[in-house]
Amino acid sequence: MRFPDLRRCIAAPVGEATGAAEGRHERLLRELESGQRRAAYPNDEGHWQVDTELKREILDAFRTSEVRSMPTWGPCFDKSAFPPRRLERKSGVRLVPGGSAIRRGAHVAPGVVVMPPAYINVGAWVGEGTMIDSHALVGSCAQIGCRVHLSAGVQVGGVLEPVSARPVVIEDDVFVGGLCGLFEGILVRRGAVIAAGVTLTASTPLHDLVHRRIHRREVPAGAVVVPGCRPASGEWAAEAGLGVQTPIIVKYRDPSTDGATALEDALR
């Protein structure tokens, strides 16, 4: 496989955008940042729908913009269509100094706290009162609900392409423990608790000890998920005593869980 020469990509502009195109792009950014448009949204039945046209517009902006120097942000080079976003005090967002960045085209609601260093990519949607802790990533088009806690080191993968693919979705009042990884369009339903170190992908089987079933691509509402293991398949694996990591639902939220994961208003 041959890759393009990055130096040529930087040096050669794709083409000057017309005033109309610039206006459409600015409108797209404002609609995303205001939350008016979302890469994915819940319908009346609680199913998440993907806005394929919106994702296509974001991809088109990447394709038709050039890589430029951004001296205000240090020795940085990026697509001109999606520079770092500059928040104002009236936004109600607390962006703590120390190296965090929010890209243009990301919606960050009032009451959100971003601890450094953290990164929120284009197309992401972050609801009111959410805490994004240090070294956390909110990937492109990821949908994060209200009053969510993303602990230190959490990686929320984004899904920008293919355009029909659902991005990672975390609904309201979810607690995600440190160093968790949520990828490939995983849906975490309201009020779930993900313990530190859990990794979930589209192919990860989630064993529910309470209801004796296996979930895929979705964490049920209120589920408490912890790291676990299961025996690896095969005779040799059995002889060697090998196991495979797997997340496990050990219970569903109760008052003791609520107390352990309560958000502290003073921090906000």
Chain segment 61-107, per-residue pLDDT in tens: 999 999 999 877 778 899 999 999 999 999 999 999 999 999 999 99
How is domain 23-257 classified at the CATH fold level?
A: UDP N-Acetylglucosamine Acyltransferase; domain 1 (2.160.10)
In angstroms, the CA 127 to CA 183 distance is 19
- Mean pLDDT for 43-49 is 94
The pLDDT score that the predictor gives to residue 3 is 32
Residue 160 near residue 140 (C-beta atoms within 8 A): yes
Task: Compute how many other C-beta atoms are within 10 angstroms of the C-beta atom of residue 112.
Answer: 26
Note if the pTM is more than 0.75.
Answer: yes
The tokens 């990533």 sit on which residue? 137
Domain boundaries, the chain: 23-257
The pLDDT score that the predictor gives to residue 261 is 82
Residue 65 near residue 81 (C-beta atoms within 8 A): yes
The pLDDT score that the predictor gives to residue 268 is 67
pLDDT tens, residue by residue, 54-69 = 999 999 999 999 999 9
Q: Using CA atoms in the order 128, 129, 130, 132, what is the torsion angle rounded to 10 degrees? A: 120
